[in-house]
């Protein structure tokens, strides 16, 4: 599961392979489900940034609360699951990030880890988005929401958790956004990133509360806990 991530870079131009965008938002140190966060999608063939709610609400849903359980989509089943298959075919997006958190069980405690690029540059998760209208309020504005696709972990993430977000790079970014990419080709993109593209360090339990969106959330602990290496 990917249940928290960061976008601590804040304002500036982002470049992800051929996709370049200007972001004017504030730094985010602890993005949590149900919060709004930026995604990148194609509109009239051009990449644009929109802020959507994290937790996908399918167009056929009766209640927006379903989004609380659709924060992630498993790569292995995303093409078939009713909640995701329509978006997988037609509404794919990129979710900008510069780190994500996972928790390691240490006895009765859970130690949070932050995973980042070794060079600390931003990256993008493979995501899906949806538009939903509340059937009880026909005139209300549609709710747009997104989910992050997860896959099996690489060697850096595996000692901490049994899932990790799909991180796209290079040509895979273009293929993911391209509406002409075949379903089989899309499935081939949903794999763990290379081990060399990720490193990790332990952080404060502050990240456990979504109320804490603070620089202290991404600060390494003075003494690294839990696992050795990486």
Q: Look-up: residue for tokens 């509340």?
A: 134
Run of H or E including 87: helix 85-90
Q: How far is CA 227 from CA 9, 202, 223, 230, in A?
A: 27, 9, 12, 9
Question: Of these residues, 2, 93, 193, 217, which one is catalytic?
Answer: 2
User: Does 2 participate in catalysis according to the annotation?
Assistant: yes
Question: Of these residues, 13, 43, 102, 141, which one is catalytic?
Answer: 102
- Alpha-carbon gap, residue 94 to 41, rounded angstroms: 7
C-alpha torsion sign, points 90, 150, 98, 143: positive
Looking at the chain, how many residues does it have? 230
User: Does 51 participate in catalysis according to the annotation?
Assistant: no
C-alpha torsion sign, points 49, 50, 51, 52: negative
Active centre residues (catalytic): 2, 102
């Amino acid at each position: 599961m990917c249940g928290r991530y960061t976008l601590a870079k804040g304002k500036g131009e982002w470049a992800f392979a051929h996709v370049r965008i200007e972001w004017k938002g504030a730094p985010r140190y602890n993005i949590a489900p149900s919060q709004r966060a930026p995604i990148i999608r194609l509109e009239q063939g051009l990449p644009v940034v929109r802020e959507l709610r994290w937790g996908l609400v399918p167009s056929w849903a009766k209640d927006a609360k379903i989004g609380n359980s659709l924060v992630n989509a498993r790569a292995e089943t995303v093409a078939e699951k009713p909640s995701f298959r329509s978006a997988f075919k037609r509404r794919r997006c990129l979710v900008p990030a510069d780190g994500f958190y996972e928790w390691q069980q240490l006895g009765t405690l859970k130690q949070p880890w932050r995973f980042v690029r070794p060079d600390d540059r931003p990256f993008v998760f493979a995501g899906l988005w949806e538009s939903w209208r509340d059937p009880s309020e026909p005139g209300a504005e549609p709710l747009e929401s997104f989910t992050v696709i997860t896959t099996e972990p690489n060697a850096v993430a595996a000692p901490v958790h049994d899932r990790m977000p799909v991180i796209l790079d290079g040509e895979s970014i273009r293929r993911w956004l391209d509406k002409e990419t075949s379903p089989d080709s899309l499935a081939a993109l949903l794999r763990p990133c290379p081990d060399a593209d990720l490193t990790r360090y332990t952080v404060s339990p502050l990240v456990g509360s979504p109320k804490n969106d603070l620089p202290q959330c991404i600060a390494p602990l003075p003494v690294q806990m839990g696992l050795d290496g990486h």
